[in-house]
Copies of this chain bind each other. A is one copy, B any other.
Amino acid sequence: MTIAAGDDQIGSGLFGVGQDEAADVDAGRFLRMDFRFHAMVVQVTQGLFKPIPISAPPLPGNPATPAKVALGKMLYFEPRLSESHSISCNSCHMIGMGGVDLQETSLGHRWQHGGRNAPTVYNAVFDVAQFWDGRAKDLEQQAGGPLVNPVEMGTTETHVVEQLKGIPGYAGAFAKAYPGESDPITLDNVRKAIAVFEATLITPHAPFDRYLTGNDKALDATQKEGLALFINKGCVACHKGVNIGGGMYAPFGVVERPGADILPPGDKGRFAVTKTVSDEYVFRVPSLRNITLTAPYFHTGKVWDLRQAIAIMGSSQLGAKLTDDEARKIEVFLGALTGDQPIVTLPILPPSVTTTPRPKP
């Protein structure tokens, strides 16, 4: 499928491409074509992408209740889940800051650097799997990872439960979230609660979503040109679906391998999970939702400039040398993927008592 950006005959006005140069086209004919092609383009676009829903999707086997979401929010902001009592989920996935930490790789326990750039928590519920290598199948499984990673929160599964049982206020919160369970403070229930809270961190109503649902004016002319380029250049082969990415895996450097700073030979990506040679340097395709908020880019976080990241993707993944103007227009289109940011009221966390296990910073 090709939508001819830059082809005056059918492209003009569709995405606004070359509108200035189309002044000599018969206006009536142009408008009729515009209408016809607009309908077609929306149909094609709707087939490739889906808008972010306006409410949190249900998680299989983990029904959300207000009590469980409330508990999950407490745990998301709970620094006492880390060995030092100074790092919470929100430390690296900051709500109000794009769901990321703005670092190349995250700072964790004792100022150690994580191995890869922290992906945004926003809309992560729509990704096919979690982490850059997809080693966690869902949010629930992901939530347990950083807790026990020695360079992240640095604790142990046993201690997470000890710690929470040592904070009296959590007994009631878990009991409400998991009614009928005799011993609800378990690692499994911690992960489930965090997952249902994280599923609420979605960003609907991006201009592109409004465009997808029929509002042609939601994108301006340059954004439409960027969208046409995004589709025609082939970005859409991987960056599609509800998250405009996040739905599949792809080798980084399929056409031309980027420099070792961006793709260091030591991190073979999904190969570490599957031990399959064809998965060397394969990573989960990142979502492009809210991408202008989540620099730096790539799993190494080595690229801070979105336009440069687009150019690298063009050469490494598509074998396309994008002009600076093309990269700029795609960048402008990506700006239309920023949705309503989650509005979250900080939870009041239950106090420690004398017997609460203490931090080990």
Residues of B within 8 A of A84 (CB): 107
Interface centre among A97, A306, A343 (most CB of B within 10 A): A97
Q: Is A206 an interface residue (CB 8 A)?
A: no
List A residues 311-357 near B (Cβ within 8 Å).
341, 343-349, 351-352, 354
Q: Is A140 an interface residue (CB 8 A)?
A: no
**Is there contact, CB below 8 Å, between A79 and B95?**
no
Chain B residue with Cβ nearest A102: B85
**Is there contact, CB below 8 Å, between B345 and A346?**
yes
Residues of B within 8 A of A292 (CB): 351
Q: Is A77 an interface residue (CB 8 A)?
A: yes
Chain B residue with Cβ nearest A105: B361
**Is there contact, CB below 8 Å, between A345 and B347?**
no
Chain B residue with Cβ nearest A73: B96
Q: Is A200 an interface residue (CB 8 A)?
A: no
Q: Is A110 an interface residue (CB 8 A)?
A: yes
Question: How many copies of this chain?
Answer: 2
Main secondary structure of the interface of A (DSSP, over half): loop
**Is there contact, CB below 8 Å, between A349 and B96?**
yes
Once the chains are docked, how many angstroms separate the CA of A191 from the CA of B94? 23
Once the chains are docked, how many angstroms separate the CA of A307 from the CA of B353? 11
Residues of B within 8 A of A349 (CB): 96-97
Q: Is A30 an interface residue (CB 8 A)?
A: no
Once the chains are docked, how many angstroms separate the CA of A1 from the CA of B195? 57
Residues of B within 8 A of A306 (CB): 354
**Is there contact, CB below 8 Å, between B344 and A304?**
no
Residues of B within 8 A of A347 (CB): 96
- Taking a contact as CB atoms closer than 8 A, the residue among B96, B101, B307 that contacts A77 in the complex is B96
Once the chains are docked, how many angstroms separate the CA of A304 from the CA of B359? 11
User: Could you tell me the distance in whole angstroms from the C-beta of A188 to the nearest C-beta in chain B?
Assistant: 25
List A residues 235-273 near B (Cβ within 8 Å).
none
Once the chains are docked, how many angstroms separate the CA of A352 from the CA of B94? 14
Q: Is A358 an interface residue (CB 8 A)?
A: yes
Q: Is A295 an interface residue (CB 8 A)?
A: yes
Residue-wise interface mask of A (77-100) relative to B, using a CB-CB cutoff of 8 A (1 in contact, 0 not): 101100011100001001111100
**Is there contact, CB below 8 Å, between A343 and B345?**
yes
User: Could you tell me the distance in whole angstroms from the C-beta of A96 to the nearest C-beta in chain B?
Assistant: 4
**Is there contact, CB below 8 Å, between A94 and B79?**
yes
Residues of B within 8 A of A304 (CB): 354, 358
User: Could you tell me the distance in whole angstroms from the C-beta of A112 to the nearest C-beta in chain B?
Assistant: 9
Residues of B within 8 A of A162 (CB): none
**Is there contact, CB below 8 Å, between A295 and B352?**
yes
Which residues of A pack against B, CB within 8 Å? 77, 79-80, 84-86, 91, 94-98, 101-103, 107, 110-111, 113, 292-293, 295, 304-307, 341, 343-349, 351-352, 354, 358-359, 361
Extra 5 A-B pairs, beta carbons < 8 Å, given A86-B91, A307-B354: A80-B102, A86-B107, A96-B347, A293-B351, A345-B346
Top-7 shortest CB links A-B: A111-B111, A96-B346, A305-B354, A293-B351, A345-B345, A341-B348, A97-B349
